[in-house]
Amino acid sequence: MEKRQYNIIAETGIHARPATLLVQTASKFNSDITLEYQEKSVNLKSIMGVMSLGVGQSAAVTITADGDDEKEAIDAISETMKAEGLTE
Amino acid sequence: MKEFKGIAASDGVAIASAFRLTEPDLSFKKRSITNASDEIKRLYAAIDVSKDELLTIQQRTLEDLGSNEAGVFKAHVTILSDPEMLNRVKSTIEKEKVNAEYAMNKVSDGYIKIFNSMTDNEYIRQRSTDIRDVTKRVLSHLLGVPLVDPALIHHKVIIIAHDLTPSNTAQFVPTYVKGIVSDMGGRTSHSAIMSRSLEIPAVVGFKGDLSEIKNGDTVIVDGSTGNIIVNPTEAQKDEFTQKQVDYRKRRSQLANFKNETTSSSDGKHPIIAANIGTLDDLDGAIENGAEGIGLFRTEFLYMDSNHLPTEDEQFNVYKTVLEKMDHKPVIIRTADIGGDKDLPYLDVPKEANPFLGYRAIRMSLDKPEIFRTQLRALLRASAFGNLSIMFPMITTINELKKAKSILDQERIKLIREKVRVKPIRIGIMVEVPAAAILADQFANEVDFMSIGTNDLIQYIMAADRGNRMVSYLYQPYNPAVLRLVKHIIDACHDNNLPAYMCGEMAGDQMAIPILVGMGLNEFSMSASSILKSRALIKHLDSREMVTLANKAVTMASTTEEVTAFIHQATNSQQ
């Protein structure tokens, strides 16, 4: 199981566009991937789930991947977060 | 052949076949089912067809309109691929033994409720629209009722619609949408404004039964007169084809004026600027050769939103306008909101007389926190161009002094925070008769004045401009109006200040000769009037217009007499 924590720096939090891209990235992998924020956890392959968390600026989130490609999954997701300006 | 009338909303002539844009009936009943797996199969089939359709639309939109517009449909596909949502719909069917329509709608309502409750996250909240759109599409396939997709139009059409919403106009491909007929609204409805900014001929407020126009009927739309002809005769087709040619010829002649400086025949240079209400209007202003922005109404920031716009949201909009205008002068008016506009997040009681009530600067001074946010955003944006700020509905000197002192306080705070702030010119919108009469006193307190004729005329004439029963009193060329306008302009000039005008009157082809004669320094109007006004001024000798203006304010006693003077003076100029 791979687990990583992030601090969201984007002023608008994880809004529609980066959320869509995160979901698309996560969906490429076999692993079960979850996004956790304020003790709520959702499937990162679910756009509705991700948006319903309403992650805002300065939020601390945790992403967990569990499966045969968990490491690659977390790396790819970290990259998308950075490219979208969500994290530093 | 049938002829109809409507309100002329956007100039030009179009001939093409009718395309009815109707809202399909997606109502359904909750049903109990026995075979859940068949129902789930039905659901998946509808989802698959919806996805295929969305991919086609996305592809078309990408080719015809660009990636921004196509992005919406990409988001729709992502929603339809959401494993969690599909599971919820599935389990609703299985556990509650209900039909797919009901289950789909229930799950989507649940999400919409969650999203709408996220009051601190505007971006997410707006996504409720996407969920609603996607649900509609799936329902349409479950029910076998086709959805009408403007993005799939691939031949030249006249759109026939009850009213247009921003989400369907965003899908219009200008190459194919040649004209618009709708039965809602007047010249300021969404359909009308949108068609003017896209320069598509349009008639709104259709008088008659829209259902008399069938899909595929040949339709002529004359957006300059409000005439509509369904299935015209050959002679009518020829006549309007010729009208179309003439219209285009006139447009291309006017296009020559785009990059010219405005000039009268004797070399006076008033500025022709544009009035804008949104960022979309800005492109039209630039496209039509505006020499500045004479009025940026900031209300859309407050109206198109479910919350008070933040300082950053406002700053970004103001900065964009200033940068796009590339150091040409931009006058931004602080918010004119209040009793006549319904802002759900602001608790403003409905009033019996909103035009005489709690609005504009009156509300700004009463709710300084909202005002300060806007002023800070403006001050920060000032570093990016040539900014002037204008206060609306100023009635007394004390109101103006208060507004200015709040602006100063915010300026000092920002400078202490080491934020770059450039000098800003301060002006008032002269639209209340009290301020107009006292213009010479206001001149000591401002850098410019801009006459807001729409309100000023209704206050002078005591006639609600929205009330048809008294619309005959809305008389821009009434000598009473002209005397007061001249008084304001003279007060400015006596104090070495420029005088501007930003009401409809500034773009009125009859009023322009008189205003040139009064020495008005800036005419600010809707973008579509700029080129014809510039062409008109080029033929006017300002010295003769001075004579005309003086005659109008000293000798005329009625609108009709003024009109006669104008015709006399301008005919001799041609």
Domain boundaries, chain B: 2-22+150-234, 36-143, 267-571
List chain A residues with CB under 8 Å of B85: 46, 48
Supply the ipTM of this predicted assembly: 0.88
- Residue B238 labelled as part of a binding site: no
- Residue B312 labelled as part of a binding site: no
User: In this model, does residue B342 exceed pLDDT 80?
Assistant: no
Give the pLDDT score at B280.
79
Alpha-carbon gap, residue B427 to B447, rounded angstroms: 6
Burial of residue B419 (CB within 10 Å: 0-12, 13-18, 19+) is: middle
Give the pLDDT score at B119.
63
Alpha-carbon gap, residue B194 to B201, rounded angstroms: 11
Which phi and psi (to 5°) does residue B525 adopt? Answer: -145, 175
List chain A residues with CB under 8 Å of B84: 42-43, 45-46, 48-49
Alpha-carbon gap, residue B447 to B433, rounded angstroms: 20
Give the pLDDT score at B513.
97
Chain B residue closest in CA terms to A11:
B312
Q: Which of B54, B89, B124, B125 to mutate to test the interface with A (most CBs of A within 10 A)?
A: B124
CB contact under 8 A, B131 and A52: no
User: In this model, does residue B296 exceed pLDDT 90?
Assistant: yes
List chain A residues with CB under 8 Å of B312: 11
Alpha-carbon gap, residue B303 to B309, rounded angstroms: 10
List chain B residues with CB under 8 Å of A27: 81
User: In this model, does residue B121 exceed pLDDT 70?
Assistant: no
Alpha-carbon gap, residue A16 to A50, rounded angstroms: 9
* 3-state SS track over B433-497: HHHHHCHHHHHHHCCEEEECHHHHHHHHHCCCCCCHHHHHHCCCCCHHHHHHHHHHHHHHHHCCC
Q: What is the mean pLDDT of residues B430-439?
A: 98
CB contact under 8 A, B84 and A42: yes
User: In this model, does residue B251 exceed pLDDT 80?
Assistant: yes
List chain B residues with CB under 8 Å of A11: 312
What is the sign, positive or negative, of the torsion defined by CA atoms of B484, B485, B487, B488?
A: positive
pLDDT tens by residue, B311-323:
999 999 999 999 9
Give the pLDDT score at B122.
63
Alpha-carbon gap, residue B31 to B76, rounded angstroms: 27
pLDDT tens by residue, B441-455:
999 999 999 999 989
- Residue B333 labelled as part of a binding site: yes
Per DSSP, chain A holds a count of helices (H) and strands (E) of 3, 4
Confidence label for A22 from pLDDT (cuts 50, 70 and 90):
very high
> What is the four-CA torsion angle of B37, B40, B42, B48, rounded to 10 degrees?
-130
Give the pLDDT score at B318.
97
CB contact under 8 A, B115 and A51: yes
Chain centroid to CA B59: how far? 29
pLDDT tens by residue, B197-218:
677 899 988 888 998 999 999 9
Q: Which CATH architecture has domain B2-22+150-234?
A: 3-Layer(bba) Sandwich (3.50)
Alpha-carbon gap, residue B486 to B503, rounded angstroms: 15
Q: Which of B111, B120, B312 sits opposite A48 (nearest CB)?
A: B111
Q: Which of B72, B82, B316 to mutate to test the interface with A (most CBs of A within 10 A)?
A: B82
Neighbour order of strands in the sheet with A60-66: A2-7, A60-66, A32-37, A40-43
Q: At what angle do helices A16-27 and A70-83 cross, to 10 degrees?
A: 160
Q: Chain-wide mean pLDDT for chain B?
A: 90
Classify domain B267-571 by CATH number.
3.20.20.60
Q: Which of A11, A42, A47 sits opposite B78 (nearest CB)?
A: A47
- The answer for B151, left when phi > 0, alpha when psi is -120 to 50, beta otherwise, is alpha
Q: Which of B79, B123, B131 sits opposite A12 (nearest CB)?
A: B123
- The H-or-E segment that residue A20 falls in is helix A16-27
Instruction: Answer whether B507's CB lies under 8 Å from B523's CB.
Output: yes
Six token digits for residue B243:
């009208």
Chain centroid to CA B509: how far? 21
Which phi and psi (to 5°) does residue B182 adopt? Answer: -140, 155
Confidence label for B124 from pLDDT (cuts 50, 70 and 90):
low
CB contact under 8 A, A42 and B79: no
3-state helix, strand, coil split of chain A in percent (to 5) is: 40, 25, 35
pLDDT tens by residue, B534-548:
999 999 999 999 999
Confidence label for B229 from pLDDT (cuts 50, 70 and 90):
very high
Q: Decide if B190 is catalytic.
A: yes
Six token digits for residue B271:
């500025």
Residues of B with CB under 8 A from a CB of A: 71, 74-75, 78-79, 81-85, 111, 114-115, 118, 120-121, 123-124, 126-127, 131, 312
Alpha-carbon gap, residue A25 to A77, rounded angstroms: 6
Catalytic-labelled residue, pool A15, A36, A42, A46:
A15
Residue type, B257: F
Instruction: Answer whether B342's CB lies under 8 Å from B349's CB.
Output: no
Chain A, chain B: beta-carbon pairs less than 8 Å apart: 56
> What is the four-CA torsion angle of B109, B114, B115, B116, rounded to 10 degrees?
80
The count of other CB atoms within 10 Å of the CB of residue B98 is 18
Which own/partner pairs from B112-120 qualify as long-range (CB within 8 Å, at least 24 positions apart)? B114/A52, B115/A51, B115/A52, B118/A54, B119/B306, B119/B307, B120/A54, B120/A56
- Residue B444 labelled as part of a binding site: no
The count of other CB atoms within 10 Å of the CB of residue B187 is 14
Six token digits for residue B423:
């000098």
Give the pLDDT score at B126.
65
Q: What is the mean pLDDT of residues B490-514?
A: 95
Give the pLDDT score at B118.
76
- The answer for B19, left when phi > 0, alpha when psi is -120 to 50, beta otherwise, is beta
CB contact under 8 A, B74 and A20: yes
Q: Which of B127, B130, B135 to mutate to test the interface with A (most CBs of A within 10 A)?
A: B127
CATH of A2-83, one of 3.40.50.620, 3.30.465.10, 3.30.1340.10, 3.90.320.10: 3.30.1340.10
Six token digits for residue A39:
């003790």
CB contact under 8 A, A45 and B83: yes
Alpha-carbon gap, residue B506 to B537, rounded angstroms: 12
Confidence label for B277 from pLDDT (cuts 50, 70 and 90):
confident
- Residue B465 labelled as part of a binding site: yes
Catalytic-labelled residue, pool B162, B190, B307, B493:
B190
Alpha-carbon gap, residue B551 to B470, rounded angstroms: 28
3-state helix, strand, coil split of chain B in percent (to 5) is: 55, 15, 30
Q: What is the mean pLDDT of residues B475-488?
A: 97
Instruction: Answer whether B165's CB lies under 8 Å from B190's CB.
Output: yes
- Residue B455 labelled as part of a binding site: yes
List chain B residues with CB under 8 Å of A20: 74-75, 78
DSSP string for residues in B516-567? HHHT-SEEEE-GGGHHHHHHHHHT--HHHHHHHHHHHHHT--SHHHHHHHHH
Q: Which fold has domain B36-143?
A: Enzyme I; Chain A, domain 2 (1.10.274)
Domain boundaries defined on chain A: 2-83
CB contact under 8 A, B82 and A48: yes
Give the pLDDT score at B354.
84
Query: Which parts of B357-417 fold into alpha helices (H)?
Result: 360-366, 368-381, 397-416
Count how many residues are written for chain B: 574
**Residue, of B466 and B422, whose pLDDT is higher:** B422
List chain A residues with CB under 8 Å of B111: 48, 52
List chain B residues with CB under 8 Å of A12: 121, 123
pLDDT tens by residue, B154-182:
899 999 998 776 567 767 877 899 999 98
Give the pLDDT score at B125.
66
What residues are paired with B14 via a beta bridge? B221
CB contact under 8 A, A54 and B75: no
Query: Which parts of B21-165 fold into alpha helices (H)?
Result: 36-64, 67-80, 83-96, 100-116, 122-125, 127-143
Chain centroid to CA B136: how far? 28
Residues of A with CB under 8 A from a CB of B: 11-13, 15-17, 20, 23-24, 27, 42-43, 45-49, 51-52, 54, 56
Residue B346 DSSP one-character state: S
Q: Which residues lie below 8 Å from residue B557, measured CB to CB, with a gap of 6+?
A: B479
